[in-house]
Amino acid sequence: MLRYIAQRLAQAAVIVAIVAAITFALIHLAPGDPFSAVMDNPNVSETVRQTLRAQYGLDRPLPEQFVRYVSSLAHGELGWSFSHERPVREVLGRALPNTLLLMGVALVGSFTLGILIALIQVARRGSVTDQVLSGLSLFFFSMPDFWLAILALLTFTYWLPIFPVGGAVDPVMHEYLGLGGRLVDRLRHLALPALTLTVLASAAVARYQRAALLDVLPADYIRTARLKGLTEREILRRHALRNALLPIISLVGLSFPALLTGAFFVEKIFAWPGMGYAVVNAIGTRDYPLVVGGVIIGSIMVTLGSLLSDLLYALADPRLRSH
């Protein structure tokens, strides 16, 4: 088991390295650089820009820049963020908890909601309820995340202004609130982005879970459960769900990247000060180190997520536990 984990971690390291290299190349190949994009100020002369570029080594050939970047990585340094004028580590260190909070809530929420919806559907399979829920889940499954985010923003902050427009906390009042008030303030800011992500991801979970449950129901051991005198509900919840959860555990790993990219756009729209918000803005300002740093952290999260879901799967299936 430990050997397997070590192997997977080695694989993950290779993947992260490749992703970092590709991102590095792509963002440098994009037109412009930190000093043409950020400082569109006409008062900054071309000579000043050239000096700045030379100062940060951006006038060097790309391979040389890459080698220098990798060596700084090897020292545990993610570089200097031009736009934030702070180390990348610090910028991401501040943003990461917000993203983890958003994704964590969405992950737990969407799997709980999705599995519940699937159970309701399968318990009443073929009924109108089942069909309506199937239609709804297909609708949200097909909807782009940024579109739903904008709709939610428009609906709940403009037409029906019950939630704040953006940010993680109220920029002015938060400081002056008591402990309870701060918590409420945080939750109110979290509500819309978390809800957007949850609804989208739960649609996918519900669809997979429903199919997995229907796959399991014709099995002989379900008939055995019926034979014991269990009710259909008990059969569904105990015998069917426990088996049908196995493929869904893999989905946790698979949904990690989708949730992360989803979070990038949703964060941008709700101005949620997470990694996605930071990285999307950094792309606009050509803040090279911040983009690459963000992508490295993101790909570490994705690879660890998939490793975690594989381990969970092995834990949940007794047939795999001994291996």
Partner 1 sequence: MTAPLLSIRDLRTWFYTEAGVARAVDGVSFDIGSGETLGIVGESGCGKSVTALSILRLIQPPGRIEQGSVIEFEGKDLVTLGDDEIRDIRGNRISMIFQEPMSALNPVFMVGDQVAEVARVHARVSRKDAWDRAVEMLALTGIPDAEARARQYPHQLSGGMRQRVLIAMALMMKPALVIADEPTTALDVTIQAQILDLLVDLQKKIGTAILMITHDLGVIAETASRVIVMYAGEVVEQAEVDELFAKPHHPYTEGLMHSMPHIGHDQERLNVIPGTVPAPTEWPAGCRFRERCPYSWDLCDREHPPLYQIGSGHVSRCHLAIEPGRRNHPHPPLVVKAGVAAA
Which residues are at the interface with partner 1 (CB under 8 A)?
219-221, 223-231, 239, 242-243, 246, 316-319
Residue whose CB is less far from partner 1, 68 or 233: 233
* Closer CB to partner 1, 217 or 304, in the complex: 217
Provide the terminal-to-terminal Cα distance of the chain, rounded to the nearest Å.
Answer: 7
Exposure string for 263-295, b = 16+ CB within 10 A, e = fewer:
bbbbbbbbbbbbbbbbbbbbeebbbbbbbbbbb
CB of 107 to partner 1, least distance (A): 23
For the beta carbon of residue 103, count every other beta carbon within 10 angstroms: 23
Which residue reads 């709709």 in tokens? 151
Amino acid present at 117:
I
Give dist(CA 291, CA 275) in Å, integer.
10
Could you tell me the smallest distance in angstroms from the CB atom of residue 216 to partner 1? 10
Q: How far is the CB of 231 from partner 1 (least distance, A)?
A: 7
Residue 16 or 222: the one with the smaller Cβ distance to partner 1 is 222
* Distance of closest approach, residue 214 Cβ to partner 1, in angstroms: 13
**Considering beta carbons, is residue 170 or 317 the nearer one to partner 1?**
317
SS3 call for 86: strand
Q: Which long-range contacts (CB under 8 A, 24 or more apart) does 56-60 make?
A: 56/80, 56/82, 58/33, 58/34
Beta carbon nearer to partner 1, 130 or 317: 317
Q: Distance between CA 188 and CA 201 in Å, rounded?
A: 21
Smallest separation, CB 313 to partner 1 (Å): 12
Of all helices (H) and strands (E), which one includes residue 312? helix 288-316
Q: Tell which residue, 103, 59, 126, 108, has the closest CA to residue 267.
A: 103
In the complex with partner 1, which residue's Cβ is closer, 92 or 119?
119
* Least distance from partner 1 to the Cβ atom of residue 224, Å: 5
How far apart are CB 242 and partner 1 at their closest, in Å?
5
Pick the closer one to partner 1 by CB: 230 or 300: 230
